[in-house]
Amino acid sequence: MVGKSILIVDDNPASRIFLANHLRGKQFKVLEAPTGKEGLIMAWRDGPDLILFDPTLPDIVDREFIHKLRNNSRTSEIPLIALSTDPGPARREICLKAGVDEYLVKSSQAILALEGSLTRIFGAETPIEAVSKADKKDGLLILFLSAKGGTGTSSLCANLAMNIQQGQPEARVVVADLVLPIGSISQIVGDKGKLNLAMVTDLQSGQTNVEYFHKNLPTPELWQFQLLAGSPDPQHGNDIKGERIGQIVDTLCSAYDFIILDIGRSLSRISLPLIQKADLIILIVSTDQSTIQLTKTVWDYLQTQGVDSQKIYAILNRAVGLEGLTKAQAEEIIGLPIKTTLPYMGSNFALANNLNQPITIKYPTDTASIIFKGTAEDMVKLARHLRAR
Ligand SMILES: Nc1ncnc2c1ncn2[C@@H]1O[C@H](COP(=O)(O)OP(=O)(O)O)[C@@H](O)[C@H]1O
Ligand SMILES: [Mg+2]
């Protein structure tokens, strides 16, 4: 459908130029007429594939303009869209009766409505549809990763996701536990385990569409986000087909505003493409020598895979108490700035986890709660900023 021609008839130059530029940007051939009379001549002479006109033309009344097109064999079949300055019902009625296919009113929604009309008229395979699909932005993909188990990746993933959801209650947030062969977020948030990654990957890809996730993923009490729980045991985890995970994440990306993935310490063929696709990579680090060294190895590897350092958001989590390296030493070894440091919370963290409560609810005045809130805000800001580049 690339190259279909559209004639714009509009006496308002600003409006006409705006529409013309917009449609040219969508690969249409555009003809412009500043008056009704010129519009008719061009329509009869050039036979465009569609005519878009403002029926409030000063030189010819709307009904007459439409009749002249409809009663001429060269233009009788051309789709006609009125994009009107007049929001009133009377003119709409007149134009529809006279034979326009669609009557739209100029407003902030007009371009969107117009694109819908063009898709209807030219069919699904128009460049408009391709472009508006690309225009419809996927949600922000935020991925949690660590170089070593036990650094608090899953706990931080759940708690930061909860704070992201709380910061924008109108957004749809999903957390997917992709740690194989066995997940742990459902234990942290107290999910009943009715649905998990193994069950979802067993379904045909056609079944696991946007509506499926909106409708079926549970929302654990107190946590507010929707959860795709991880594999419940190694047997199921090892049976999961890798390509299904990619498809499922793609669907989640079009279904949610924030897609928060826990991939644990995995750098597999399944997780690497997700890391490369992510808007933000939350790298959880603890202060012990071995974790820091492993983190450096992981980061060196990710760089060879084309991962941009701007996307790495390193969090130092003092999951194992105060011993170990300082933040500056850790930064020096890894070669990345540490954006946030979470204090050691002693047994309080495990206690909140065991009660399936978010830290910010169980210990609202604790320093860690304040840090969780601020970090969640900062992450969202950075992810949005990187997306807008
Ligand atoms: N800042 C912290 N203070 C105290 N305990 C923590 C802290 N962060 C994590 N933990 C504890 O560390 C353990 C491992 O956390 P988990 O989130 O399962 O790590 P991972 O997913 O990296 O394996 C849990 O018992 C958790 O409660
Ligand atoms: Mg984990």
Burial of residue 125 (CB within 10 Å: 0-12, 13-18, 19+) is exposed
Distance CA 290, CA 333 (A): 11
233 C-alpha to ligand 2 centroid (Å): 14
Q: Is the pLDDT of residue 127 over 70?
A: no
How far apart (Å, rounded) are the C-alpha atoms in residues 379 and 385?
10
pLDDT greater than 80 at residue 10: yes
Q: What are phi and psi of 211, to 5 degrees?
A: -65, -35
Closest ligand to residue 369's CA: 1
pLDDT tens track for 205-251: 999 999 999 999 999 999 999 999 999 999 999 999 888 999 999 99
* Residues 145-169 pLDDT 10s: 999 999 999 999 999 999 999 999 8
Q: What is the CA(319)–ligand 1 centre distance, in A?
A: 6
Pocket around ligand 1 at a 6 A CB cut-off: 146, 149-155, 184, 264, 317-319, 342, 344-345, 349-350, 353
Binned at pLDDT 50, 70 and 90, residue 132 comes out as very low
Q: Is the pLDDT of residue 309 over 90?
A: yes
112 has a pLDDT exceeding 90: no
**Whole-number Å distance between alpha carbons of 32 and 13:** 10
* Alpha carbons 173 and 324: distance in angstroms, whole number: 35
Cα of 280 from ligand 2 centre, angstroms: 18
The strand pair at 80-84 and 312-317 is best described as unpaired
For residue 183, the CA-to-ligand 2 centroid distance in Å is: 7
Q: What is the CB neighbour count within 10 angstroms for residue 285? A: 32
- In the predicted model, what is the mean pLDDT of residues 167-176? 94
Per-residue model confidence (pLDDT) at position 129? 44
Q: Which residue has the higher pLDDT, 321 or 218?
A: 218
Taking the C-alpha atoms of residue 113 and residue 101, their distance in angstroms, rounded to an integer, is 13
**Share of residues in the chain with pLDDT > 90 (%):** 84
Integer CA distances (angstroms), 336 to 153, 263, 298, in order: 18, 20, 12
Q: Which pLDDT value is given to residue 319?
A: 86
Q: Using an 8 Å Cβ cutoff, are 140 and 380 in contact?
A: yes
Q: How far is residue 126 from each of residues 81, 119, 121, 328, measured CA to CA in Å? A: 17, 6, 9, 54
pLDDT at 125: 53
Partners of 8 in beta bridges: 32, 52
Segment 331-370, tens digit of pLDDT: 999 999 999 999 999 999 999 999 999 999 999 999 999 9
Q: What single string gives the DSSP state of each residue in 281-295?
A: EEEEE-SSHHHHHHH
**pLDDT of 1 above 60:** no
CA distance 140 to 135: 14
Residue with the larger pLDDT of the pair 247 and 320? 247
- E strands of the chain, at which residues? 5-9, 29-33, 50-53, 80-84, 102-105, 140-146, 173-177, 226-228, 258-262, 280-285, 312-317, 338-342
Count of alpha carbons within 13 angstroms of residue 8, beta-carbon side? 24
Substitution site in 260, 349, 371 for ligand 1 pocket (most atoms within 8 Å of beta carbon): 349
pLDDT at 135 over 80: no
Question: What pLDDT, in 10s, does the model give residues 246-299?
Answer: 999 999 999 999 999 999 999 998 999 999 999 999 999 999 999 999 999 999
Residue type, 384: R
Report whether 101 contacts 79 (CB < 8 A).
yes
Query: What pLDDT score does 306 carry?
Result: 92
* Minimal-distance CA residue to ligand 1 atom 6: 319
Q: How far apart are CA 51 and CA 69, in angstroms?
A: 10
Band (323; pLDDT cuts 50, 70, 90): confident
- Cis, bond preceding 181 (omega within 30 deg of 0): yes
pLDDT recorded at residue 234: 97
Give the number of the atom of ligand 1 that is nearest the alpha carbon of residue 148: 22
Buried b (16+ CB within 10 A) or exposed e, 233-253: eeebbeebeeebbeebbebbb
pLDDT in the model for residue 136: 58
| Reported confidence tier of residue 69, pLDDT bands at 50, 70, 90 | very high
pLDDT at position 128, please?
47
In the predicted structure, residue 131 carries a pLDDT above the cut 60: no
Top mutation candidate among 155, 185, 315, 375 for ligand 1, by most atoms within 8 Å of CB:
155
- Cα gap 386→279, rounded to integer Å: 7
What pLDDT is stored for residue 120 in this prediction? 87
130 burial level (CB within 10 Å; 0-12, 13-18, 19+): middle
Q: What is the overall mean pLDDT for the chain?
A: 93
Cα of 230 vs centre of ligand 2, distance in Å, is 10
Query: What is the structure's pLDDT at 236?
Result: 95
Phi, psi of 196, rounded to the nearest 5 degrees: -145, 175
Backbone φ/ψ region at 174: left (φ over 0), alpha (ψ -120 to 50), beta? beta
The token pair at 8 is: 């714009």
Listing DSSP states for 103-134 in one string gives: EEE-STTHHHHHHHHHHHHH-TTSHHHHHHHH
